[in-house]
Amino acid sequence: MVEVNLWAGLRRLTDGALVVTVEAATVGQMLDALVRAHPALEPELKGSVTIALDGEVITGGRNTPVRPDSEVYLLQRLKGG
């Protein structure tokens, strides 16, 4: 199981939960499991959400492995100049 930390603004889409635990071995599976657990998250997760995995902001890679002890944060979309 992976603990996914959400930003506080998503609480209203997750019945108040700020940390959601899902069964997932990859980033893609994790996102899909989040939507299954809280369908209201789908539009937000379909947008360009930024994912920080073990301290590193990743911008691609649904196939990126996620371990049960991974630190996972969903962040607001980030873009650079």
Partner 1 sequence: MPKDELKQEFRLIGTRPDRPDGLDKVTGRARYGADISAPGMLHAAVVRSPHAHARIVRIDATKALALPGVKAVVTRADLPTGLTGEDLNLQDNTLAGDVALYDGHAVAAVAATSALIAQDAAKLVEVTYEVLPHVIDVDDAMRPDAPVVRPGAADHSVPEGSPPNVARYMEFGHGDIEAGFKDADLVMEKTYKTEATHQGYIEPHACLGQMGSDGKGEMWVCTQGHWYIRRMSAAVLGVEAAQLRVTPSEIGGGFGGKTTIFSEPIALALSRKAGGRPVKLVMSRSEVLRATGPTASASMDVRIGMKKDGTITAAKAVFRMQGGAFIGMSPVGEALSCAFACYDIPNLWHEGHEVLANRPKAAAYRAPGSPMAAFAVESLVDEMCRALSLDPIDVRLKNGAREGTKSSYGPKYGVIGLAETLQAAKAHPNYAVKLGPNQGRGVASGFWFNHGGETSVSLAIGEDGSVTVSVGTPDIGGSRASLALMTAETLGIPYEDVRVNVVETGALGVNEPTHGSRATFASGKAAVEAARSAIKQMCARAAAEWGIDAEAVEWKDGAAVPAGPNAGKFPPMSIAEIGSKMGSTGGPISGHHESTPGGVGASFGTHVVDVEVDPETGHTTVLRYLVVQDAGRAIHPAYVEGQYQGGAAQGIGWALNEEYVYGADGRLQNPLFLDYRMPVASDLPMIDTVIIEVPNPGHPYGVRGVGETGITPPLPARANAIAAATGVRLRSLPMSPPKVLAAIKAGADG
Residues that bind partner 1 (CB under 8 A): 5, 7-9, 13, 40, 43-44, 52-61, 64, 71, 73, 75-81
81 membership: H or E segment, kind and range: none
- Cβ nearer to partner 1, comparing 25 with 57: 57
Total residue count of the chain as it appears in this document: 81
Beta-carbon-side half-sphere exposure of residue 34 (alpha carbons within 13 Å): 31
**Any idea what DSSP says for residue 69?**
T
- Closest separation between CB of residue 16 and partner 1, Å? 13
CB of 78 to partner 1, least distance (A): 6
